[in-house]
Amino acid sequence: MPAVLILERTAPFQPQEPPPRPEAVGPDWVTECNRLYARGNVSTLELAIVVRAARQQMKRNWSKFWRSSAPGLPFSKRTADMLVGVARLVGLSEQTFAHFPRGWSILYPLSRLEHDLLDRLVQVVEVHPELTLAEAKRLVRRCGQPRPPRPKRPAVKAHLNKFADFVEATGDDWSLEQRKLASAKLREILLQIELALARSAQLPIHDITSQN
């Protein structure tokens, strides 16, 4: 007689109220995070959604916010960054999420897997409410194909602006030799950029080099 898989029936995941979309990052956002954090693991996904919204609004000010002396939150930047990752679970069906363990530390490694795979893992009871952190990490390693982390882009614009400010502030004090050195080096850098641009656009290299 073939084995029949029986899933334990649990109440579907139902947030008590949808998380707000704060119009501006500030005390209201901090207050909302503290309120959700106080609820415990049952509100982890809601907390992750709010933290992700704040991260998206702050953009480059995210790290600066956490360097402030009193951010007013009961968790660290590292935890906040992991909560941003947990927010990738948004979109899973309530039936699937009802079988997930609670707590950001366990949800974070699972959030790196694709939703379709997580659905299948719930069906075969490999993901269940009693899953431990160590088991979650082993499961992700065994299943493979985690979502690759988003590559961090170099802050090109910020560095260019910083150098432009330096030239504007000190350029009048440069010696003739310094101006010649800067001019030659900048031409060299410009050529490197244009060659890279040509490769990206699949243009013939001679079309770039002939212009310099």
Q: What is the pTM of this model?
A: 0.56
Instruction: State yes or no: pLDDT of 5 exceeds 60.
Output: no
> Residue 21: which pLDDT band, with cuts at 50, 70 and 90?
very low
112 to 108, 125, 147, 148, 210: CA distances (angstroms): 7, 18, 5, 8, 47
What is the DSSP code (8-state) at residue 90? B
179 to 146, 173, 176, 188: CA distances (angstroms): 50, 10, 5, 14
Q: What is the per-residue pLDDT for 71?
A: 72
Instruction: Decide which of 145 and 63 is more confident.
Output: 63
Mean pLDDT computed over 134-163 = 78
> Residue 18: which pLDDT band, with cuts at 50, 70 and 90?
very low
Instruction: Decide which of 50 and 29 is more confident.
Output: 50
Q: What is the per-residue pLDDT for 81?
A: 92
Q: What is the per-residue pLDDT for 169?
A: 87
Q: What is the per-residue pLDDT for 24?
A: 43
Q: Residue 90: phi, psi to the nearest 5?
A: -60, 130
* Four-residue CA torsion sign, 117, 98, 19, 62: negative
pLDDT tens by residue, 160-191 = 888 888 888 888 889 999 988 989 988 888 88
Q: What is the per-residue pLDDT for 108?
A: 92
Instruction: Decide which of 14 and 195 is more confident.
Output: 195
Mean pLDDT computed over 70-83 = 86
Mean pLDDT computed over 68-73 = 74
Contacts of 52 (CB under 8 A, 6+ apart): 83, 84, 87
What are the residue boundaries of the structural domains of the chain, listed by start? 27-143, 156-209
